[in-house]
Chain A
């Protein structure tokens, strides 16, 4: 081996022949070229770099989102998060109800002298209480000052960037994956991203049928989580609304969280009923989904389970102008007595959905009626982690904490 290399070396030398020194000149040409290239220095205190939005500068705490679940502190590899809390007992929300306990955050501190900026706490937080901020200038003369208490961590919140815009065609939270296979129903499928890939994957006749039939169901599915989230969250802050109807569900929902969480486990029998509570607006899609369900029940196949992910109110068939939707939802919400911010936020969500061609399910207020029968249908009663902060962020009242608290207790 070594001999071969030497031989090779010798041949190379021969090949170079008289070209000794060319390499030196090439090297000097390279450095000379770089001498006249523009320098890449950012003179830091005088000039500021536009840092990437995902820069790991400092971790900010959104205090009202923290439920003292301790996940961050436990996952932290450096153990640099300190959390103290105490329990408070809240009076029952209505007469005869039971008392509720909830955790109150006393201390939340991150020791940045220990932190290694791995970001595990930010990722592990189920309630979006921790965020990365791009700020990085918090050097201190005393190492003790590097432990940021919750007041300081909350102050960093003002420097957190808003979440990035979704790409065109991106899925909203709770929206099912679009089918991968190319065949199937063109028009409705395009309108609403439809079946889970598994459903159509086999390519059997029933599969195609489901696809054609699926859109309404699936699109309803896309909204299934959201209305229910907001519904379960909402009942506390707006007692002025027809809350008498709304109050029971959260309790029930709270009692059955495990069953409710994965919608796929829904009993098949529940399917038709799931369509029932549909608001009066559009009966047709509901029927359609009934048919679909019946078909699935008739032909048990490998894919049978999947379509049952539709234990939800089916979408309203509205082909709307986003602005009109916005105004409509805003008005609806105001009529129901939601606070202005909440109304606006929901209206915005509705508008975004309308813009993206996602069929809008009943707005949270509309869902309130069907909710009483929800537990039997396995409606996802507890908010998804992703859905929670949105609602909480909008409503800073103590209410939002309650559902998560119930979930714990």
Chain B
């Protein structure tokens, strides 16, 4: 039995009921978030290019466009190539999509609005976040298609290269906060890490962002899905619902999740951007969604600004710059934690 205090209303609920409620929340939040994110992306891209984006579906400014797109894909035929390893081929999209959904478990929307406040929340995020690439490898290998295989291998290489900077910057954050719990990290940010400690937080944020963009296979790091050369890479042979869940939906949910994670780890999550009493009165949900929206906008902005790099440039950039820089950052954070006087911490 759990006693719940939700916005002043107190009630008790059994563990099973709570679990079902949490699952339902995840099952609604992720698709809705992905659809809304897709719509926002269409709109932002459209306006970046002097267009309007979707304007008709659903009546008001095309709000139902992504919904209609999804429905269209569901009605399409699910084609499995004759030479494909059918079991692996059909399983791969689920293995890509489910970990992305699980990322949402540990993102706090407000002080107590979190689905599972794990003590090892950050570790969980990093671990779950890299499971998806196994699905990509499965998809690419089982498709019996050279483009799919190239895409899958590029994706794996990219994940290995860019997971390291992400892990190291996340370690920096954990060192600064002194905890692996996500809510603990948020509570530690009286000043968001991006502002304080000076330099360390900002650089960590930038490295984390670049790594996240690369891990999500977004331009300018989208060689694994480069449509003009290897035709969405590992998903060349997919169609219908598997395609949209494994590729579009997962990608969109990934962007939404990483926007939330970046907002939480570096921008102070549900806490005000500066420790100033009047700002504390604004509800944490609004702070969180404001920061989340900024991160989302920023990622899409970057995505549609830069052209694609070459595979070797990407690897060079990761191993020769990103990883050394993040290692140096870990050193700097350690030095800060050990030697900075207590008065500077807050």
Interface residues of A (CB under 8 A from B): 24, 27-28, 30-32, 34-35, 37-41, 43
B57 at the interface (CB under 8 A from A): no
- Decide: B50 and A41 in contact? CB cutoff 8 A: yes
With A43-B52, A43-B55 known as contacts, the answer to whether A35 contacts B47 (CB < 8 A) is yes
| Chain B contacts to A: CB under 8 angstroms | 44, 46-52, 55, 301-302, 304-306
Of the residues B49, B52, B55, B306, contact of A27 by C-beta under 8 Å: B306
Q: Are B50 and A34 in contact (CB under 8 A)?
A: yes
* B51 pairs with A35, CB closer than 8 A: no
* Closest chain B residue to A40, Cβ basis: B50
Interface contact tally, CB-CB below 8 A = 33
Identify the closest chain A residue to B304 (Cβ): A31
A23: nearest residue on chain B (CB-CB)? Answer: B306
List chain B residues, Cβ under 8 A from A41: 50-52
- Min CB–CB distance A316 → chain B (angstroms): 60
A30 to B48, CA, bound (A): 10
Chain B min CB distance to A205 (Å): 65
Contact call A31/B48, Cβ cutoff below 8 A:
yes
Check A35–B48 contact: CB distance below 8 A: yes
* Minimal Cβ-Cβ distance residue in A for B206: A21
Known: A31-B304, A31-B305. 19 other contacts (CB 8 A): A24-B306, A27-B306, A28-B302, A30-B305, A31-B301, A32-B301, A34-B49, A34-B50, A35-B48, A35-B301, A37-B50, A39-B46, A39-B47, A39-B50, A40-B50, A40-B51, A41-B50, A41-B51, A43-B52
The 15 listed contacts between A and B (C-beta, < 8 Å) are A24-B306, A27-B306, A28-B301, A28-B302, A30-B305, A31-B48, A31-B304, A31-B305, A32-B301, A35-B47, A35-B301, A37-B50, A39-B47, A39-B50, A41-B51
Closest to B44 in A: A35
B305's partner among A28, A37, A39 (CB-CB below 8 A) is A28
Bound Cα distance A273, B301 (Å): 83
A28 nearest CB neighbor, chain B only:
B305
A33: nearest chain-B partner, CB-CB: B48
**How far does the alpha carbon of A43 sit from the alpha carbon of B46 in the complex, in Å?**
14
Q: Check B48–A27 contact: CB distance below 8 A.
A: no
B56 to chain A, nearest CB (A): 9
Chain A residues with Cβ below 8 Å from B44 are 35
Cα(A64)–Cα(B248), bound, Å: 61
Chain A residues near B306 (CB, 8 Å)?
A: 24, 27
- Nearest-neighbour CB distance to chain B for A196, whole angstroms, equals 52
CA distance A38 to B46 in the complex (A): 11
Which residues from chain B contact A28 at a C-beta distance below 8 Å? 301-302, 305
**Which of A30, A32, A39, A43 counts the most B-chain CB atoms under 10 A from its CB?**
A39
* Neighbouring B residues of A31 by C-beta, 8 Å: 48, 301, 304-305
Rounded to whole angstroms, the CA-CA distance of A40 and B52 in the bound complex is: 9
Min distance, Cβ A31 to any Cβ of chain B, angstroms: 4
Residues in B whose Cβ lies below 8 Å from that of A32: 301
Complex Cα gap A31–B220 (Å): 15
Name the one of A34, A35, A37, A39 contacting B52, with C-beta atoms under 8 angstroms: A39
A-B pairs, top 9 by smallest CB distance, nearest first, are A31-B305, A40-B50, A39-B50, A41-B52, A35-B48, A27-B305, A35-B47, A28-B305, A31-B48
Give Cα A194 to B27, complex, Å.
Answer: 87
What distance in Å separates the Cβ of B153 from its nearest Cβ neighbour in chain A? Answer: 28
List chain B residues, Cβ under 8 A from A37: 50
Bound form: Cα–Cα A31–B48 in Å = 6
Q: Given the complex of chains A and B, what is the CA–CA distance between A27 and B219 in angstroms?
A: 14
- Chain B residue nearest to A34 (CB atoms) is B48
In the bound complex, how far is the Cα of B219 from the Cα of A24, in angstroms? 13
Taking CB as reference atom, which chain B residue is nearest A39?
B50
Nearest CB on B from A306, distance (A): 56
Which of A24, A27, A30, A39 is in CB contact (< 8 Å) with B51? A39
A226 to B52, CA, bound (A): 55
Cα-based distance from A363 to B332 in the complex (angstroms):
99
Residues of B within 8 A of A24 (CB): 306
- Bound-state CA distance A197–B189 (Å) is 87
**A residues less than 8 Å from B55 (CB atoms):** 43
Give complex CA distance A43, B306 in Å.
28
Complex contacts, B52 vs chain A, CB 8 Å: 39, 41, 43
Report the bound CA distance from A24 to B48 in whole Å.
Answer: 16
Q: How far is the CA of A37 from the CA of B51 in the complex (A)?
A: 10
B21 to chain A, nearest CB (A): 39
Q: How far is the CB of A26 from chain B (nearest CB, A)?
A: 10
- B304 proximity list for chain A (CB < 8 A): 31
- Nearest residue (CB) in B for A36 is B47
- A27 proximity list for chain B (CB < 8 A): 305-306
CA distance A43 to B62 in the complex (A): 13
Q: Which residues of A contact B305 (CB under 8 A)?
A: 27-28, 30-31
Interface core residue of A27, A31, A38, A43 (most chain B CB under 10 Å): A31
Q: Residue on A with the closest CB to B302?
A: A28
The smallest C-beta distance from A24 to any residue of chain B, in angstroms, reads 7
The answer for the CA separation of A37 and B48 in the assembled complex, in Å, is 8
Chain B nearest CB: distance from A61 CB in Å? 37
